[in-house]
Structure 1
Amino acid sequence: MAVSGVAGKKLVREEKDVAEIRRPTQERGRQKFEVILDTVDQFLQTREPADIGIYDIAEALGTSPPSVYHFFPTVSLVFVALAERYLEMFRRVDTILPGPFASWQQLLDEQCNQMLKVFEGNSAVRKVILGVGYSSEIRSRDLENNRILAQHVLDGFRAHFVVPEIPGLLDRFIEMSAINDAIWALYLHQDGRLTDHAKEIASRARVAYLRTVLPEYLATK
């Protein structure tokens, strides 16, 4: 679908911004780059992204705003870089769990609980990845991350169960992951945290969607 008008201009602007992140090649520059991200990560523990500006970052670092602009021409690019860091944390989550598991439904819940720990352990991750104000670039990266995580989850399934060869099965796992994220984001915006009710609703949605392609019972290995 073509993107036009204000939305199209916004997307073009964001894509241009991403290209302008100056990623350092020298060790001293890399350290400063990471310190900037660390500082914003700490801000996000108690503040919202909209309340953080380049001057706030510079003041906290005891440096000049141009030294921050050197890496990030706009503050939105800091959040894009943070999103990359946070999404890498999810990719390191172990989804091939020891088990045993009585059902694939139980395994799926345990896999998602492992990922949920990343959200629950850091409010900054929740605000950047699931927050209502994230940019289309962050969303695009999150969707690509969903593809990688969906493959990890499916690999975990195959480690414990005999999974039938189903055309497009990975795509269904990707869609399930997107549905799960949407529910988590909804309740995070509504309640400010992921309540037990939100977790239960997300669990029901995940299982219900995969039941459209997977049999109710899978043979264990």
Structure 2
Amino acid sequence: MNQVDRRTVSRRDSASPRKPQRKNGREKYEKLLDSLEALIIEQDSSEITLANLSQVAGVPAASVYHFFPSVDASLTALAERHYKSFSEALLHLPDIPPQGGWQDLLFELCDLGRSYYEINVAALKVHFGPQSSWALRHLQMENNWRLADTLLKNLSREFELPPSQEWRERLLLAITINDAFWSQSYSRFGRITEEIAAEGKRAAAAYLKMYLGELLERRRPSTQSETSPF
């Protein structure tokens, strides 16, 4: 490993939290994340220090630095908590057929994400804030892949998708397009405005329309006579 590789690995390590294994450590870890959430709601992430986090949480500085080698690592841990929470919300989405076309499923997913950020201001700030480490960008990409998989599952359930091995990638790109509009809105207004959210959905739908067309044929509901050999 050359010197450049060592520096790259070192930066990645410092941006990643060290997760505790013991119960006492897990309790401290969660307490620190609770305190970090409260801090980031009140101030910008660039103003937070680990010493400040230690004081607010009432956790010894040595423990803070053990779990979080840097502020970036603490932000990554908080983002991981919220992405996990959002993923769990996706799992409990009701299987309600869209009233219109495939665009409805895309818009529903976008609206769900925006609603989560409206309720969880800390998640909004961490995702779109000025500090973006390698570890945090990696988590963001993983989250977008999960959204793409959810959208693909829902589309496949309701519609006959044209044969392709690239749907997952295309859906990821559509989600990334929408994400770019949200990022622009946050940079300008500190939130995802209704107007820019609508523009993001239109842009993502316009991209997918090149491959899906305006309308997709709906899947025929299975009947017992079709599935039974008798």
TM-score if structure 1 supplies the norm length? 0.89
Partner of 2:160: 162
Partner of 2:207: 209
Partner of 2:227: none
Question: Which residue identity does 1:180 align to in structure 2?
Answer: N
Selected match of 1:17 from 8, 14, 17:
14
Q: Is the 8 A contact 1:104 1:218 kept in 2?
A: yes
Partner of 1:66: 62
1-side partners of 2:82 and 2:6: how far apart?
27
Deviation at 1:175, TM superposition (A): 0.9
Deviation at 1:102, TM superposition (A): 1.1
Question: Which residue identity does 2:89 align to in structure 1?
Answer: V
Partner of 1:173: 171
1-side partners of 2:152 and 2:43: how far apart?
36
1-side partners of 2:43 and 2:115: how far apart?
21
Identity, % of aligned positions: 30
Q: Is the 8 A contact 1:160 1:220 kept in 2?
A: yes
User: What runs of 5+ residues in structure 1 fail to find an aligned partner?
Assistant: none
Deviation at 1:97, TM superposition (A): 3.9
2-side partners of 1:175 and 1:72: how far apart?
32
1:192 aligns with 2:190: yes
Selected match of 1:108 from 106, 109, 112:
106
TM-score if structure 2 supplies the norm length? 0.86
User: What runs of 5+ residues in structure 2 fail to find an aligned partner?
Assistant: 220-230
1-side partners of 2:30 and 2:205: how far apart?
38
Q: Is the 8 A contact 1:54 1:68 kept in 2?
A: yes
May I ask how many residue pairs the two structures share in their alignment?
215
Larger Rg: 2
Q: Is the 8 A contact 1:22 1:72 kept in 2?
A: yes
Question: Which residue identity does 1:131 align to in structure 2?
Answer: G
Q: Deviations over 1:130-186 (max 9, x none)?
A: 223221221122112211210111101122222222231110001111111111011
The RMSD of aligned alpha carbons is 2.1
Partner of 1:36: 32
2-side partners of 1:215 and 1:129: how far apart?
32
Deviates more, 1:90-99 or 1:154-163: 90-99
Question: Which residue identity does 1:138 align to in structure 2?
Answer: L
2-side partners of 1:191 and 1:67: how far apart?
36
Question: Which residue identity does 1:174 align to in structure 2?
Answer: L
1-side partners of 2:70 and 2:145: how far apart?
28
Q: Is the 8 A contact 2:105 2:151 kept in 1?
A: no
Q: Deviations over 1:12-69 (max 9, x none)?
A: 44312146x3321111110111110111011111211111111111111223322211
